[in-house]
A and B are shown apart, each in its own frame.
Chain A
Amino acid sequence: MSSIDVKGQQIEVDEDGFLVDPDVWNQDIVEAFAKLEDVTELTEDHWKVINYLRDYYKQFGIAPMIRKLCKDTGFSLKQIYDMFPSGPAKGACKLAGLPKPTGCV
């Protein structure tokens, strides 16, 4: 395990840099992750995606289908990649504090 420094606080992340405990998630962590994921500025659109992911995760315990994410937020997959350069599964899920999607992805 390693950790990242968020405003002086050590936050535990796994080897892929995802939050170990999704419950410690907060805005400061998102900002710290954003820097690591090459997200230059967190816009309203970013938050729309992040909040959608978190809500879905809270309800179903898993990340939503990528197409559903696009449809429900109104962003195309390309727009999502523009916002989160490492993509919906890695970048967006990491910022939203979800565990890393695993399996054949």
Chain B
Amino acid sequence: MKIPLHMAKEKDLQSAGLVAVPEKEQQQALLKGIDEYRHWARSIMVMLETCTKCGACANACHSYLGTGDFNNIPAARADLFRKIYKRYFTWTGKTIGRYIGAEDYDAETLAKWVTYFYQCNECRRCAVYCPFGIDTAEITIAARSIMSAIGVVPRFMTGVAANMIKTGNNMGIPKPATIDCCEFMEDEMREETGLEIKIPVDKPDSDILYIPSSADFFSNVDTMIGVAKFFHAIGANWTIPSTVLEAANFGLLFNNDAMKEQNQRMRDAAKMVGAKLVVQGECGHGWRAAKMYTEGSNGPAPFGIVHILDYAYQHLGKLKFEKLPWRVSLHDPCNYARAGDIIEQPREILKACVTEFVEMTPNRERNFCCGGGSGILMDEMMDIRMQLGKKKAEQVKELLPLDFLATPCSICKAQMPHVMKHYGMEDLKMGGVMDVVGKAIVLA
């Protein structure tokens, strides 16, 4: 079977601190990985052993609805894992395997795993609709982590990981470039407002450590500018860290050790500037990693962790806006709504900033993923990505005309323009919620 991904080769793996396992040892290594993981995290055994194959998840999953590929039904996707798990780790699977759907490891196993576990956006929508709350994202996270540990991982992921190791961000932006970007954005703001609005880098004795997405330093400039204006408006003593110019945590998307390491960077950076509060920028899965995984992966944290949209919402009363005459909707990033408890805040912020806010259907925790979630942003996946974005496109189409669609997550921001173009909506303007704040805010 042909894998639709470009897989990492030995050199790529090395640059990301991973090693390849020779093909003839892969089965043994994979089984060892599964065995360790199931004792490491309760969710795997429970979720694998609880599914009754009722099929209710099929309609809940945009991946299946978009691709029509049977293996993208959440239960079928999990079954790729479950069949092997049953065969080698359950008594019934070892004896009467075929009867309970167990399957031998074969030459196709890893190809199937890597193909379909990289067509799951880890969006957790199936968990909302499954009668048992089985969360296929958990199975996907486990499968990807186990595979990466034996060297089976897309090159895109190792590329990001290598940049992270080298520079502390996914894009590979070195510190001098960061400072150059900040100066550029400060110039832009000066030209626009006449005010000296700073984006401090590595400023010691800062109360707030703001962790942007590195994409804000390449394509999503308005998000960073909106954030800087907001901090200026509330008079915050803040800084961004050059060591971790990255709210994203791709570790969560391919390897748990890398996830832990990235969370450690945040912790070190907060300590370095003496921050009492870490504010995370507009990044969906990175927010999940920071909020939900910091305690579990790195132990107790001595600082607060808050999302920029939550933080801006808390200060909404202190801010002055001149409402933009726009009709705006919000795409709920999966990792905010279902995995990160950022649901009402972006709505309230948008309502304060624009004249007309409309909801798409479904919304909040029932929203469909953009189709890029879990880091499926590889070029070679473009055709599949467009299928994964089909439900999203249908949702947006119903709302047209829109002046702006808020997609407050860097993965959404990278994926959505492609989806909109593909489905004939290329003129739609999109960007973060903080972009809108930056445009509507009135600074003294």
Judge whether A32 is part of the interface by a CB distance below 8 angstroms: no
Judge whether A101 is part of the interface by a CB distance below 8 angstroms: yes
In the assembled complex, the CB of A62 is this many whole angstroms from the nearest CB of chain B, namely 5
Q: Are B177's CB and A60's CB within 8 A?
A: yes
A67-92 vs B, CB cutoff 8 Å, 1 = contact: the mask equals 11001000000000000000001100
Specify which of A16, A62, A101 is in contact with B177 (CB 8 Å cutoff): A62
Interface residues of A in 11-67 (CB under 8 A from B): 15-16, 59-63, 65-67
Specify which of B169, B188, B221 is in contact with A103 (CB 8 Å cutoff): B169
Q: Are B180's CB and A103's CB within 8 A?
A: no
Q: Are A102's CB and B174's CB within 8 A?
A: no
Interface of A is mostly: loop
In the assembled complex, the CB of B386 is this many whole angstroms from the nearest CB of chain A, namely 15
Q: Given the interface contacts A65-B221, A67-B188, A67-B221, does A103 sit within 8 Å of B171 by beta carbon?
A: yes
CA distance A105 to B215 in the complex (A): 6
Specify which of B213, B218, B410 is in contact with A89 (CB 8 Å cutoff): B218
Count of B interface residues, CB-CB < 8 Å: 34
Judge whether B411 is part of the interface by a CB distance below 8 angstroms: yes
Judge whether B156 is part of the interface by a CB distance below 8 angstroms: yes
Q: Given the interface contacts A65-B217, A65-B221, A90-B379, does A60 sit within 8 Å of B176 by beta carbon?
A: yes
Nearest A-chain residue to B283, judged by Cβ: A104
Nearest A-chain residue to B6, judged by Cβ: A15
Specify which of B173, B380, B411 is in contact with A62 (CB 8 Å cutoff): B173
Interface residues of B in 140-185 (CB under 8 A from A): 155-156, 159-160, 163, 169-174, 176-177, 180-181, 184
Which chain A residues lie closer than 8 Å to B174 at the CB level?
60-62
Judge whether B82 is part of the interface by a CB distance below 8 angstroms: no
CA distance A60 to B131 in the complex (A): 52
Count of A interface residues, CB-CB < 8 Å: 20
In the assembled complex, the CB of A20 is this many whole angstroms from the nearest CB of chain B, namely 10
Judge whether B263 is part of the interface by a CB distance below 8 angstroms: no
B401-431 vs A, CB cutoff 8 Å, 1 = contact: the mask equals 0000000001101100000000000000000
Q: Are B221's CB and A104's CB within 8 A?
A: no
CA distance A90 to B380 in the complex (A): 13
CA distance A16 to B6 in the complex (A): 9
Q: Given the interface contacts A60-B180, A61-B174, does A101 sit within 8 Å of B218 by beta carbon?
A: yes
Judge whether B227 is part of the interface by a CB distance below 8 angstroms: no
In the assembled complex, the CB of B2 is this many whole angstroms from the nearest CB of chain A, namely 14
Judge whether B377 is part of the interface by a CB distance below 8 angstroms: yes
In the assembled complex, the CB of A19 is this many whole angstroms from the nearest CB of chain B, namely 15
B171, B172, B219, B248, most chain A CB atoms within 10 A: B219
Q: Given the interface contacts A60-B177, A61-B174, A66-B219, does A104 sit within 8 Å of B380 by beta carbon?
A: no
Judge whether B335 is part of the interface by a CB distance below 8 angstroms: no
Which chain B residues lie closer than 8 Å to A105 at the CB level?
171, 215, 218-219, 377, 414
Q: Are B184's CB and A103's CB within 8 A?
A: no
Which chain B residues lie closer than 8 Å to A103 at the CB level?
160, 163, 169-172, 214-215, 218, 248, 410
In the assembled complex, the CB of B32 is this many whole angstroms from the nearest CB of chain A, namely 30
Specify which of B155, B176, B180, B213 is in contact with A104 (CB 8 Å cutoff): B213
Which chain A residues lie closer than 8 Å to B160 at the CB level?
102-103
In the assembled complex, the CB of A53 is this many whole angstroms from the nearest CB of chain B, namely 13
Nearest B-chain residue to A90, judged by Cβ: B379
Which chain B residues lie closer than 8 Å to A62 at the CB level?
171-174, 177
A59, A61, A89, A104, most chain B CB atoms within 10 A: A104
CA distance A105 to B414 in the complex (A): 5
Which chain B residues lie closer than 8 Å to A71 at the CB level?
184
In the assembled complex, the CB of B381 is this many whole angstroms from the nearest CB of chain A, namely 12
CA distance A99 to B410 in the complex (A): 20
Which chain B residues lie closer than 8 Å to A66 at the CB level?
218-219, 221
Which chain B residues lie closer than 8 Å to A104 at the CB level?
170, 213-215, 248, 283, 377, 410-411, 413-414
Q: Are B171's CB and A101's CB within 8 A?
A: yes
CA distance A71 to B184 in the complex (A): 10
Instruction: Give chain A's interface residues, CB within 8 Å of chain B.
Output: 15-16, 59-63, 65-68, 71, 89-90, 99, 101-105
- A and B contact pairs by CB, cutoff 8 A, 21 listed: A15-B6, A16-B379, A60-B180, A61-B174, A65-B184, A65-B218, A66-B218, A66-B219, A66-B221, A67-B184, A90-B379, A101-B218, A102-B159, A102-B163, A102-B172, A103-B160, A103-B163, A103-B169, A103-B410, A104-B377, A105-B219
List 9 additional A-B contacts (Cβ < 8 Å) besides A16-B6, A62-B174: A15-B380, A60-B176, A60-B180, A63-B218, A65-B219, A66-B218, A66-B221, A90-B379, A103-B160
